[in-house]
Amino acid sequence: MLRLLLPLLFASLANAQFVYDFNSLAGSDTHPFTLLDGQDNWTEETFNTNNRCGVTASLSHDGTPALRFQESGPGFGCDASRINDSNWLFPPFAGIERTASFEVDIKVGFWGGSFGLAHDTNGDGVIRGSQAGERGVRFMIGSQANQQLRLYAADQTFAQVPLSGLGISGGHWVRVRVIMDLVADGGAGRGSLFVMNITQGATDFTAVAGLQEIPLALDPAALDATNPIFWDAVWLHFEGATYELDNIDIGRRGFTRSYGTACNGTAGPVTLTATGTLEPLSTLTLESDNHEASAIGATIVGFSDADQQGIPLPLLLDPFLGTNGCSLHCAIFGTVSGTTSGTAPATLTQNLNMPHIIWSGITFYVQHVCFESVPGGLSFSNGVLVQLP
């Protein structure tokens, strides 16, 4: 049934991503580097030092040009911005996106580096941190004790977590992704922040605990950068040495998120994970562990984590099935069967192929169930929410 279901799910809008990589700018690897200001509609202002924010030729983590600011000390900083033009732009958000996103690669400095979306509210052709109503949602990262990792709402309030628990240090290159539901809370929006430590060799994003589902203080009636339909620029600020920035990526993103609890298979809790980019033509891999070898299992697919034909979810299954601590976390719309691997502790793996065209913003839920030698003869995993771009 799942094979029949997927073409119906992915029927509408193509995923849209718009990447700016600085590779077309003039750069130099000799300090103070090639001036950013005036290149390709970029404007830049430096504070308390004569050495400006510049463009390198090959100092990014991938050996390509990047922005760099090398002056050290509190109060030594730069603002830079770029307003959309015909040479490069990201299409405007309509305010109804549930997976609006931006991400950037940043080399972590000390006093704080920020990046976010913006709007030139006063029409002077630049975005500056000192200008009211021009900065929208943004993040900041810095290894100084009072900085750390922050997600800023559009009213410039923020939530903050320490870097220590994320394994991020000064000098690391990290990819920071912010995913925003612009519809949540009546249009006030919520955002979640994810990181990938490029220096440490990470290949996937980690959801940052404490920076998930943060209220964004958006105002759909405003005429400034608190209203996402006006976002038409990017803004950054570097404070002190040594910050670099590369690969701005703006558009829509999908994501997965685990929820609920698992009960035991023969080798322990059958934890379900989902890996994959959710991009067109990619593969989403669903895998649960700790099963009995060569056992029959299934993936449940549904469109709710709250209701199964009028019955509230999660539903404790023990009174009905004789299981031990097992719950149904996912409404049952369809299932697809499979078999666990041949050696215990075994895994149940299902691959879902993402097609060419994706229905933007759709959410569905999955859960694994397996027939094995446990109370009630069944194990149930946690649930996984899958949000498509």
Q: Where is 320: in which H helix or E strand?
A: helix 318-321
Locate the domains of the chain by residue range: 16-251, 256-387
Q: pTM to 2 decimals?
A: 0.74
- What's the confidence (pLDDT) of residue 355? 65
The residue ranges of DSSP E strands in 135-282, in sequence order, are 135-142, 148-152, 158-161, 173-181, 190-197, 206-207, 214-215, 233-239, 243-252, 255-259, 264-265, 268-269, 272-275
The reply to whether domains 16-251 and 256-387 share a CATH topology is no
Sorted by sequence, the CB contacts under 8 Å of residue 72 that are 6+ apart come out as 110, 240, 241, 242
Q: What is the CATH number of domain 16-251?
A: 2.60.120.560
**239: number of CA atoms within 13 Å, CB side?**
16
Read off the pLDDT of each residue in 234-255 and give the average, rounded to a whole number: 90
User: Residue 301 forms beta bridges with which residues?
Assistant: 334, 366
Tokens representing 376 are 């009630």
**336: number of CA atoms within 13 Å, CB side?**
15
Read off the pLDDT of each residue in 219-232 and give the average, rounded to a whole number: 97
- What's the confidence (pLDDT) of residue 4? 34
Q: Tens digit of pLDDT for each residue in 163-178?
A: 999 999 999 999 999 9
- What does the mean pLDDT of the chain come to? 91
The percent of residues in the chain predicted with pLDDT above 90, rounded, is 76
Q: Tens digit of pLDDT for each residue in 81-117?
A: 999 998 998 889 999 888 899 999 999 999 999 999 9
Domain spanning 256-387: CATH superfamily: Immunoglobulins (2.60.40.10)
Q: Which of 121-130, 195-204, 279-288 has the lowest mean pLDDT?
A: 279-288
Check if the beta carbon of residue 138 is closer than 8 Å to that of residue 245. no
Indicate the residue type of 112.
Answer: G
Residues 217, 157: Cα–Cα separation, whole Å: 9
Q: Return the number of other C-beta atoms located less than 10 Å from residue 325's C-beta.
A: 15
Q: Which of 11-25, 104-118, 128-142, 260-274 has the lowest mean pLDDT?
A: 11-25
Q: Which of 67-81, 109-123, 330-344 has the lowest mean pLDDT?
A: 67-81
